[in-house]
Amino acid sequence: MSLDRQPMSPARRLPGGPRLGPQRAPHEYYPTPPAATRAFLDAERFDGSIWECACGEGWMAKEIARAGYDVFASDIADYGYGKAGLDFLESAIPRGKHIITNPPYGDGLADRFVRKALALTAITGGKVAMLLNLSSLAHPARHASWVKRPPARIFVLDDCTCFPQGNPGEANRWTRTHRYCWAVWTSTPVTTTELRWLSTAPYHLRRRTGP
């Protein structure tokens, strides 16, 4: 992580600058705890290369690589890991068969990431997996989208806290109240969604070292 914890890039900024608001992390960077990725990769398997398109410092991409996958990591900002300055939403060429990421949430960015990922994996025949806030599943503005293209599986995590820039010291009073799930879309559209519960506890115990 950079010393000032606010990496800048010549690439396109978020609306209004690198922050969507004074209480939001620069570039919406809330890295995924390694245990949440480890648990997911044990529950859902992939048959080819993976693109982690909002990689930050590589917390998730490193776990994907440790699980034995060929992973291409990129981010619009420069965190010293992966391909910096690559705007996923402007990408026309898939960088992996499957796409797995924790997308930025503010200003409708997560919705745009899902739509873009589905468009790109329609070319490759791969799956899309997104770490999402549970509240996004019950939202009037998203209801039609969920019904039109529901995920094949949703894994509800029992314990996952995504701290601003990975730093608990930057958490606000709401940070620890958020709950998360993995949503998985397959290349073949489905009409129903399988709901599973997923615990991260065994994966905290397995390896306590950082990313």
pLDDT in tens, 28-57: 788 999 999 999 999 999 999 999 999 999
- Confirm whether 164 is domain-assigned: yes
CA separation for the pair 69, 58 (Å, rounded) = 14
Here the tokens at position 90 are 């402007």
Amino acid 14 reads: L
Question: For residue 202, is it within any domain?
Answer: yes
* Domain assignment of residue 152, yes or no: yes
Contact between 111 and 145 under an 8 Å Cβ cutoff? The reply is yes
CA distances 24 to 57, 162, 165, 179, 180, Å, are 18, 12, 10, 17, 18
Q: Give the pLDDT band of residue 209 (cuts 50, 70, 90).
A: very low
Domain-located, residue 15: no
Confirm whether 8 is domain-assigned. Answer: no
Model confidence at 201: pLDDT above 80: yes
Confidence (pLDDT) at 13: 39
Structure tokens at 73: 């990591």
Q: Is the pLDDT of residue 8 over 70?
A: no
What pLDDT, in 10s, does the model give residues 90-119? 999 999 999 999 999 877 899 999 999 999
How many structural domains comprise the chain? 1
pTM value > 0.95: no
Length reported for the chain: 211
> Is residue 211 assigned to a domain?
no
Domain containing residue 99: 26-206
Q: What CATH number is associated with residue 133? A: 3.40.50.150
- Selection from 152, 110, 146, 91 nearest residue 127 by Cα: 152
Could you tell me if residue 138 is inside a domain?
yes
12 part of a folded domain: no
